[in-house]
Chains A and B, each alone.
Chain A
Amino acid sequence: MAASPDAAAVQNIREVTEMVASRKLYSAGFITDIEADKVPPGLSEDVIRLISAKKEEPEWLLNFRLKAYRRWLTMTEPEWAHVSYEKVDYQSISYYSQPKSMKDGPKTLDEVDPKLLETYRKLGIPLREQEMLAGVQNVAVDVVFDSVSVGTTFKKKLLEAGVIFCPLSEAVKTHPELVKKYLGSVVPFADNFFAALNTAVFTEGSFVYIPKGTRCPMELSTYFRINERNTGQFERTLIIADEGSHVSYLEGCTAPQRDENQLHAAVVELVALDDAEIKYSTVQNWYPGDEDGRGGIYNFVTKRGDCRGPRSKISWTQVETGSAITWKYPSCILRGDDSVGEFYSVALTNHRQQADTGTKMIHIGKRTKSTIVSKGIAAGRGQQSYRGLVRMLESAEGARNHTQCDSLLIGDQCGAHTFPYTEVRNPSATLEHEATTSKISEDQMFYCRARGIGEEEAVSMIVNGFCKDVFKELPMEFAVEAQKLLAVSLEGAVG
């Protein structure tokens, strides 16, 4: 990187300012009809019809939603994850995101919890967040606090390259044939409890289509934020990489600090056709709850990529530092011969956070390869689980997998767990799994401290070293952000 950090920061501020400005424009119309859009908490077929009507959806999409809803009613919430939490009351959630009246929201920076602001200041990215909060007194706030795809900003430039990047609800209108063909083709409508719920009520999300032989000219990014009380967020993202194309997509998330728990049940579907490559990176920083475990987001997410064509590749990279409960297994179905799946993860749980996360690699095609690198860090009273499945079917001739999952424990109240499922049905397949659990060694600490490095700084340094294998997979800007995030999230974990 040639640019100095200062120059990068200036650039960042400029971009963020532009983004905020563009959002203000978008928001003006939104807020006026919002009052009329209000949907009371509760879930029923009528609510789903209403959501569908608001979005002016075609008949087939409504039927898709209703089919999922009817199946969802017969399903039970999964309990196998190594997490404990108070069950969600699905009838107390409002399913059509509706910004709270301005009267109750923070109007000035003084009203915003200083702890929150401090956090954002430390983070760096969250400059955007601060810009948004700083502009609290104008109408933009509602949009900023709501979850809206920033995609529209670059739409025109992307269209020149033939790339379609827009909110899913827009794609339903402009590219119905693509949406109809691929929506629900990777994550079926009744895949699991939360995916079925999402299919019934999804309201937000991005749609990406990269045409044949195209290398997407810029990184695509979506930034999710839950801001509304008593709502759930049901984002739905669909990315299709046509033959020989390439795309890198970034996702970031935050939510305000609240005493209540909120539900985020997203579904992300990736389709990679012949020779296509999708790189999907997430920095997840939903509000994790306070030191005593009050509040925070329930992050119950289904993410799955389908390597449909030969030689296709899907790579997931995630940095999970937020959420009270994380339940997330980005997966790859390696259908095409010689296709490649990758999963790089850093998950951190501090205070009373709980994470049950990992991946699934389903090897179907010949000579398919998968790599899993998972780094779990547990601090405070955090509980951290890696749960992964590697399945090699009879057809997966010569398939290979390597899994490395390491846990780092900071403090004697936390827990780190590993549940690696391996299922092999082909005698020419090779699978390796290794895992270690350790704590920060006294030697490492002593070495750093003896050189005048403060305790927290030393821990942060060692943790960054521990996570290096994953961070190097992130796009540069995100890697810097992720390191800062870890440092902030670990604050108070030592000493």
Chain B
Amino acid sequence: MSIEISDVNKRFGDFVALEDVNVSLPTGQLTALLGPSGGGKSTLLRIIAGLEKADTGTVSIEGVDATRMSPQKRNVGFVFQHYAVFKHMSVAKNVAFGLEIRKRPKDEVRARVDELLRLVHLSQFADRLPSQLSGGQRQRMALARALAVQPKVLLLDEPFGALDAKVRKELREWLRRLHDEVPVTTVFVTHDQEEAMEVADEIVVINDGRIEQVGTPDSLYDRPANDFVMGFLGEVTRLGDVRLRPHDIEISRSPDLAGSSPADVLRLTRVGFEVRLVAGTEDGREVSVVTTRAHARSLGLAEGERVWLTPSSGAATVPAMTPLVRAELAG
């Protein structure tokens, strides 16, 4: 394991940012710290980088105890949400900064900077100032700058948070490809579950300063450990006493399946290839169901029709114990 975090606690005054956090982040992988804002994920990342000190607990990086090490000595690359560019230096100078600090020979620095700028597709901007770059380009420069010193781990704090949706999507795919090319252990913080699911090998879900679940995107989606994880990773609805995903509900026109609940179709919306319907059950709740257009047509669904709903076999379900509101807000 590349990064080991044991019994870490961190408070800011009365606010508990992290509580008894224990987690191992695997070497060479792309890990996402996922959770709502203010949940403690950025604090954890900053503690790994040494920019914040844990009140108690230890952090080890690549088998070396880094708990009391200064950020200068940890050899981690850090990328900030708002780029943190050195405004008065050219793009090439920004990237060269860490190497110049280490007093590497000029030729080596130049070669390495060229190589990195090629990697992040900024070769033609080497002599520009950061203010002449777009947000996405600045963040790629910041990434090249962090990679220049060949860090043991690369840490990204909401790296695409300040970018618009289209650029964010491009950069996210690009980060995935970059990681496949340069397989340095990477940890990134995000509150966007789609981003985490799409990019990460492994996801650590953090909420209220605690780790809720650790696992691959698939395992988290299919086997959520609790209500919160389920609600945070995708849409959730409630059918009877269980909570499950709207696409995991089977619709039939007759009550022949065991455990099916009768409901009336209240609203029907077609979005592209899928059909979303809201049905009212007899206990007065509304259930959302997602199905394909072809299936909806074959069943002859329409508003006001009676249907019977059953959780499909193998559906991820959790008992409905907490109020629905919280998960719906998060999801």
**Chain A complexes with chain B:** no
